[in-house]
Amino acid sequence: MKLGMLTACLSGWSLERIAAFAAEQGYERLEVAVWPDTGSRDFEAAHLPVATFTESDADATREVLDRYGLELSALAYYENNLHHDTDHRAAVKEHLFHAVDAAAMLGVPSVGTFVGRDNTLSVRDNMALGDRVLPELVDYAGERGVRLIVENCVMEGWHPDGYPGNLAYSPELWHWVTGLGFGLNWDPSHLTWIGIDPVETILPFAEHIVHAQAKDVELFPRKRDEYGFFGKVDKGDDPWDMGWWRFRVPGRGVVDWPHVVDRLYEAGFTGTLSVEHEDPLWGGTDEKVLEGLRIAHRTLRPLIARES
């Protein structure tokens, strides 16, 4: 198992600047964000120009990684592959294919994405839609030696009422998505707030957990007693404000990281545990983000066996 970090939390930085920090801090791998460079930086980052990626870009990327002794664990483009707007869905597919092509050039084994959801349809009807449109994505990647992996993020902010906006949030649905050929980018934080014990999901899906993300969560049960499980009705300008929980960096929430890492070892996991920093207490400025990544490293590094 290797310790890595997702680059999305440093959206305004170049990949080389991130690599220098990661290497100095002691991270071993990077999960690189490759959203389109649209100028929006709320939840997106573009650290490789995958839409126009060339062999020259690949050589330059490898030179940066070699200089800092890092590897790439995955490229990250988490968007809605079942969006109700078919033009939007087509644009997502096109960029996902660009990400796969770049990963193939670089020899990166995985590209992360979401299943997503058409909010005009039921879960069952979404699954039927997915059966029709998702195999093409898996096949395109597989033909190029790349595995598509899906994160089990609920994406509640994508749904107007805080319901799941990404249909890979539960083990029940993992049977479906892995049956379509996706691997899992397993994240315990999302499982925790929806009431699933993350540790108990590892062994049953060991063969499908290709990559793992390290994100923690802090719960406020008294606020849940007021808002209910699906969170606030009035979220103001922030559709992600559920009101009774928030993401934290590893070590500052309720996830039992020694137990998680131990169970991953028991499952034979040899991939990357990648820190995904979305902690609002350690965000807002670059220095706070960096300190959050340091906290995460201090929490997780002692749990991961060093190679002899």
* Sequence spans of domains, the chain: 2-303
pLDDT digits (tens, 9 = 90+) for 173-218: 999 999 999 999 999 999 999 999 999 999 999 999 999 999 999 9
pLDDT of residue 41: 43
Report the topology of domain 2-303: TIM Barrel (3.20.20)
pTM here is: 0.95
pLDDT digits (tens, 9 = 90+) for 66-98: 999 999 999 999 999 999 999 999 999 999 999
Beta strands in the chain (DSSP E): 2-6, 29-33, 71-80, 110-114, 147-151, 183-186, 209-214, 216-219, 245-248, 272-275
Q: Residue 31 forms beta bridges with which residues?
A: 6, 74
Helices (H), 196-285: 221-227, 257-266
- In this structure, the strands spanning 245-248 and 272-275 are unpaired
Q: Which residues contact 143 (CB under 8 A, 6 or more apart)?
A: none
Asked if 255 contacts 224 with a C-beta cutoff of 8 angstroms, the reply is no
Give the rounded percent of residues in the chain with a pLDDT score beyond 70.
98
Give the rounded percent of residues in the chain with a pLDDT score beyond 90.
95
Instruction: Determine the average pLDDT of the residues in 128-152.
Output: 98
pLDDT of residue 307: 75
Indicate the residue type of 256: D
